Amino acid sequence: MSIIVFALVSYLIGSISFAVIVSRAFALPDPRTYGSGNPGATNVLRTGRKAAAALTLVGDGAKGWLAVFIAQRLGDPATVELGMALAAIAAVVGHMYPLFFRFQGGKGVSTALGVLIALNIYLAAGAAATWIVMAVFFRISSLAALVSALFAPFFTLILFNAYHPYFWGAVVIALLLVWRHRTNIRNLLAGTEGRFGSGANGASKD
């Protein structure tokens, strides 16, 4: 299969919004209509339904992993790493701008972790560990997400090199995450970004 086809399939997989689907299954409000308005696990958690939030988190991560896994299993060995990198980017873009939900998507953190797991487990572990350390010390989800996103390309350099498709995939995904967190960045600079448990401004982990 062509790497362009993999990218398209990955975008469509990424466009499946588990926040919306799970909310409907649990008879919860559309996550785009309350809190941060962000269809992701953190916003779903505001309903108090931890099971729904957990399913959203797992679903958004799993779809990222699945998109890259398909590209790995079915891709041409000569271009499989490039195909996997493009699939990773496309899945994250699909989550952020889902075709099936009027392009109103989440911020991509959970899906980004899913694609990193599929690309390389050590790369994913480094990014996840960075998120956890930042979250524990600062208790600001958006800050943890931004720092872990920016560190992901550096972890990729350690494991591979600057010419590897995974490195450029990690760079593009990091830039996408920064773009989607631009409101959070403004809040961080203004000192108004919420911490865990403090309200809507703290949401970003989706």
- pLDDT tens digits, one per residue of 101-114: 989 999 999 999 99
Give the end-to-end CA distance of the chain in Å, rounded to a whole number: 30
State the number of CA atoms in the 13 A half-sphere of 116 facing the CB: 29
- pLDDT tens digits, one per residue of 8-56: 999 999 999 999 999 999 999 999 999 888 899 988 998 989 999 999 9
Q: Do 195 and 205 form a contact (C-beta atoms < 8 A)?
A: no
Q: 20 phi and psi, to 5 degrees?
A: -70, -45
Closest CA to 123 of 94, 97, 93, 88: 88
Q: Where are the domains of the chain?
A: 3-202
CA 45 to chain centre: 17
Dist. CA 20–CA 56, nearest whole Å: 9
